[in-house]
Amino acid sequence: MNPCRGIIVLTDGADNSSVHSPFEVITLANKNRIRVFMIGLGSGIQTEILRNIADLTGGRYYETPNPAQLTAIYQEIAMIILSGFQECVITYTATCEDGGFRKVGLSLVNFCSGQDTKTKTYKAPRDTTTFSPLHLRIGKGTVRGRDTVTVPIELLDPIDSAMFDAASFSIAFDMQCIQFVDVKTPPGSLLEGVPIDVTTGVDMITFTTTERKILAARNLPAMLAELRFVTSDPAGRDTVCCPVGFSGWAFQPGCFRPVLANGEICIVPRNPAVTCRVDAPRELSWIHPLKRYDPDPFSVAMVLDNHGDREARNARFKIEYDRKTLTLVDPASDTQPGTPRDVPPGGTSEARWDLRAARRLAGDSVNICIVAAFDNHDSVRCCARIWVPPSSAYFSWDLLTVPVIRVDTANSRYAPMPFDLRMAVRNISNAATDSVFARIVLPPDITLFGPDAPDQNTKRLVPPILAPGQSGGAQWALWCDSAVADRMHLVGVWVRSSNADSTYGELLVKIPRLRGPMVVPFIKASGPLSFCRGGHVMLDAGPGYATYAWNSWQMTRTIRVSSSGTFAVTVTDSIGRVAVSAPVTVLVHPLPAPVITRNGDTLRTQAATALQWLRDGNPIPGATQPVLLLQAIGRYTVVAVNEFGCVGTSAPFDVGTLPVAPPMQTRDWSLDVYPDPASGVISITARDAGGEAVVVTVLDASGRVVVPPCELGGAASRSAAFDIADQPSGVYVVIGRCRGATLTRKFVTLR
């Protein structure tokens, strides 16, 4: 029996016999669950009353002026009643047929001042083809052995508010490679806050979520949970990768079809990582007075640093060197174990040898290498290069030459005449020289000409002191009378320095045959052709000529020269013959221009070959360095001497104030040398030494003893004078010893 009932009322809309009001009709119909279908036929119908009765009872209102339409209206009403008034059928479309139970509830709320609720439970069909694919993967990780590593379980498909019921994950792995620690659902993970139960087995763990959760994943990949493992330490030196994979996955129930991708954990074994360095002197020095190198012997050490995370076992060292130039001193064996043998992570090990260098004539670098071998690490090799200078300074000839001398027949002379001999040597050692001198050795028929005669056989090179690799030279003007036959003359030059091996060079000079006397002007100089700015030299072309024409435009026999240049003169004799002199070169050297600056309690100036500070015009004893510590107020100047012997004085510098607290003296006695620069006798004074003996020694720049140790005389102020006039120009050192303390002072000699 159909529980849905209805009444069809056909009316013209006029109510003239009803005993119940419309409200009573509506209430009675709803109480008995009767729908009222109202049909208004004709015109003048009370539409509002009829429509309210139909609407409020769940029926429907129809209106037509034509009786012919009643058939269609009755057919529609019949269909509504037969289909349960279109209210008794509920349809539900499932997105996933998982075979689970469904509960459906229907409620009518506030309907006609009442409400009702009905529920029904049914089981859905199961069809796995309706399940959605769900791509899951276990991540990858790389870690050192014995460290903890975390790998994620990641969701790769987007999910929009899907319900996850209880689920379980089974994860398989190799326990010989990794050991399970725990599984976490950290903040930000999809399963954050969901309780997890873990079950462990052999090479497998299973963890289960115990609560439902709605998941939404739009930013991919999205992490569900994290797996944490502790890794083993592989025995070898290669990286080992261990698989971590799904062995099972299930939802209870579930509408997903998992697509699983496994991960892996790669273990980088802990290994030593050894680097090396060699500690050795960069260079040796030759001590000329002692005839040995310094240091002697010298030490070479290899130091190993283990930057890895495992000890390097059984370090063994072997030294490699040139046995022709070096000798082992201690130990005598070229192999030795490391100290310590095993190098811990972050630790060091080393081996050391003492060696001695053989004396050599030419400087060169020697290569020393040390190889360290291990039981569990590749060998490492480090080297050092050490410069070993020649045993004494050594010169190499750069130049020794004279021009080709030919006969100028038209002028009855040699061209050129006089002629220049030029020489240059280079310091090929690793140490600076003292002043270098060159002495020319002439055959009988060749003589020095003009300013080079007769005391200029020996000349100081320009520059006089040669740094390593630096060259210096000198030249002489030579003269030869006319020869009646071709001749070959041997000219030699000796080069020497107090701290260098002397060297000798020679060359042949060809003088061709010339009949009759030569007609040639001779330029003679009144002094040296090389001097400092401010000086001058007079050049004289000689008497007996009708005219003189210098290349500097002067027309006189003599000229005054105060600047650098090359000068020659053209002369005409009484019968009209014209001759040109050989050129003469004049070199004018600039004066030093020292500048004084102040910084706190010190004055400074530029370095020079020699320096002397003055206060109020008086030399300050011992003040010969570029830095001067202020001790008193006054007007300070500094006198500088350059490598050419030129002297320049700075502008005065006024010091009107001193620091409040002058620096403390590091010794309670002092040592002074005066004068500085010196050219003959020097005075060495020790002050405030009391009754103690003061012993002084004077050395040159190479360490050669110039004045042997001697005790100064006197009482409170002890002094002694020493004659150094026979010493070459250069830098010298005074060493004073008293009461266990040593003081040194430098001074410069100029000749």
pLDDT tens profile 280-318? 998 888 776 666 888 999 999 999 999 988 899 999 999
Please report which confidence band the pLDDT of residue 607 belongs to, taking 50, 70 and 90 as the band edges. Answer: confident
Higher pLDDT, 622 or 328: 328
For the segment 333-360, the average pLDDT, to the nearest whole number, is 92
CATH number of domain containing 351: 2.60.40.10
Which residue pairs, CB below 8 angstroms and at least 24 apart, start in 628-637? Answer: 628/602, 628/603, 628/604, 629/601, 629/602, 629/663, 630/601, 630/602, 630/603, 630/655, 630/658, 630/659, 630/662, 631/658, 631/662, 632/658, 633/657, 633/658, 636/596, 636/603, 637/596, 637/613
Of 249, 255, 256, the residue nearest 98 (C-alpha): 255
Phi, psi of 310 (to 5 degrees): -145, 145
Q: Which has the minimum average pLDDT: 86-95, 399-408, 616-625?
A: 86-95
Look up residue 210 and give its DSSP letter.
-
Residue-level pLDDT at 475: 92
Q: What is the 3-state secondary structure (H, E, C) of 353-380?
A: EEEEECCCCCCEEEEEEEEEECCCCCCE
CATH number of domain containing 158: 2.60.40.680
Based on the domain organization, do 238 and 344 belong to the same domain? Answer: no
d(CA 141, CA 100): 39
Of 209, 211, 213, the residue nearest 161 (C-alpha): 213
Based on the domain organization, do 65 and 140 belong to the same domain? Answer: no
d(CA 578, CA 546): 10
Of 551, 437, 559, the residue nearest 500 (C-alpha): 437
Q: Are 110 and 96 in contact, with CB atoms under 8 Å apart?
A: no
Q: Is the pLDDT confidence value at 210 over 90? A: no
Please report which confidence band the pLDDT of residue 254 belongs to, taking 50, 70 and 90 as the band edges. Answer: low
Based on the domain organization, do 329 and 442 belong to the same domain? Answer: no
d(CA 463, CA 249): 93
Based on the domain organization, do 283 and 213 belong to the same domain? Answer: no
Of 293, 299, 302, the residue nearest 357 (C-alpha): 293
Listed residues 490, 520, 550: the one ending a domain:
520
Based on the domain organization, do 152 and 242 belong to the same domain? Answer: yes
Residue-level pLDDT at 597: 93
Higher pLDDT, 140 or 390: 140
pLDDT tens per residue across span 368-415: 999 999 998 999 999 999 988 877 667 888 999 999 998 887 767 788
pLDDT tens per residue across span 65-83: 888 888 989 888 888 877 7
Listed residues 30, 65, 86: the one ending a domain:
86
Residue 63 lies in a domain: yes
Residue-level pLDDT at 716: 55
Residue-level pLDDT at 251: 65
d(CA 619, CA 293): 38
Q: Is the pLDDT confidence value at 87 over 60? A: no
Please report which confidence band the pLDDT of residue 664 belongs to, taking 50, 70 and 90 as the band edges. Answer: very low
User: Up-side HSE of residue 323: CA atoms within 13 Å toward CB?
Assistant: 5
61-64/34-41 β-pairing: parallel
Based on the domain organization, do 416 and 367 belong to the same domain? Answer: no
Residue 618 lies in a domain: no
Please report which confidence band the pLDDT of residue 515 belongs to, taking 50, 70 and 90 as the band edges. Answer: low
Residue-level pLDDT at 605: 92
d(CA 111, CA 113): 5
CATH number of domain containing 11: 3.40.50.410
- What percentage of the chain's residues is helix, strand, coil (to nearest 5)? 5, 50, 40
For the segment 340-359, the average pLDDT, to the nearest whole number, is 92
Residue-level pLDDT at 660: 47
Residue-level pLDDT at 111: 60
- The DSSP H or E segment spanning 24 is helix 22-31
Q: Are 28 and 112 in contact, with CB atoms under 8 Å apart?
A: no
Q: Is the pLDDT confidence value at 656 over 60? A: yes
Residue-level pLDDT at 1: 45
d(CA 117, CA 84): 18
Based on the domain organization, do 241 and 303 belong to the same domain? Answer: no
| DSSP secondary structure string for all residues of 275-339 | EEEEE--SB-EEETTTTEEESSSEEEEEEEEE-SSSPBPS-EEEEE--TTTEEEEESSSSEEE-B
Residue-level pLDDT at 662: 37
**3-state SS assignment for residue 25:** helix
Please report which confidence band the pLDDT of residue 160 belongs to, taking 50, 70 and 90 as the band edges. Answer: confident
pLDDT tens per residue across span 541-591: 888 888 999 999 999 999 999 999 999 888 887 777 777 787 889 999 999
Q: Is the pLDDT confidence value at 256 over 80? A: no
pLDDT winner (highest mean) among 92-106, 314-328, 593-607: 314-328
Query: pTM score, two decimals?
Result: 0.35
The residue behind tokens 């006798």 is 681
User: Up-side HSE of residue 226: CA atoms within 13 Å toward CB?
Assistant: 15
- The DSSP H or E segment spanning 54 is helix 47-56
Residue 717 lies in a domain: yes
d(CA 24, CA 158): 58
Bridge partner residues of 697 (DSSP): 735
d(CA 579, CA 595): 49
Q: Are 720 and 427 in contact, with CB atoms under 8 Å apart?
A: no
Residue 636 lies in a domain: no
Q: Is the pLDDT confidence value at 724 over 70? A: yes
Look up residue 343 and give its DSSP letter.
B
For the segment 17-25, the average pLDDT, to the nearest whole number, is 84
Residue 583 lies in a domain: no
Q: Are 678 and 722 in contact, with CB atoms under 8 Å apart?
A: no
Q: Is the pLDDT confidence value at 105 over 60? A: yes
Based on the domain organization, do 234 and 136 belong to the same domain? Answer: yes
pLDDT winner (highest mean) among 11-20, 93-102, 383-392: 383-392
Please report which confidence band the pLDDT of residue 703 belongs to, taking 50, 70 and 90 as the band edges. Answer: low
**3-state SS assignment for residue 129:** helix
Based on the domain organization, do 413 and 508 belong to the same domain? Answer: yes
Listed residues 388, 417, 441: the one ending a domain:
388
For the segment 253-275, the average pLDDT, to the nearest whole number, is 84
Based on the domain organization, do 303 and 425 belong to the same domain? Answer: no
Based on the domain organization, do 156 and 257 belong to the same domain? Answer: yes
d(CA 518, CA 375): 89
Please report which confidence band the pLDDT of residue 90 belongs to, taking 50, 70 and 90 as the band edges. Answer: low
Bridge partner residues of 243 (DSSP): 264
d(CA 686, CA 723): 18
Query: Distance between alpha carbon 253 and the CA centroid of its chain, in Å?
Result: 63
The residue behind tokens 């130049």 is 399
Residue-level pLDDT at 622: 81
For the segment 701-708, the average pLDDT, to the nearest whole number, is 73
Residue-level pLDDT at 47: 86
The residue behind tokens 């910084």 is 599
Based on the domain organization, do 181 and 73 belong to the same domain? Answer: no
Residue 471 lies in a domain: yes
At position 340, the amino acid (one-letter code) is P
At position 420, the amino acid (one-letter code) is D
| DSSP secondary structure string for all residues of 633-678 | -EEEEEEEE-TT--EEEPPPEEE----SSPPPPSSSSEEEEESSSB
Structural domain span for residue 21: 5-86
d(CA 75, CA 92): 29
pLDDT tens per residue across span 680-694: 888 888 877 666 778
Residue 100 lies in a domain: no
Number of domain units in the chain? 5
Residue 113 lies in a domain: no
pLDDT tens per residue across span 487-511: 899 999 999 887 777 788 899 999 8
Q: Which has the minimum average pLDDT: 40-44, 158-162, 400-404, 432-436?
A: 158-162
Higher pLDDT, 202 or 612: 612
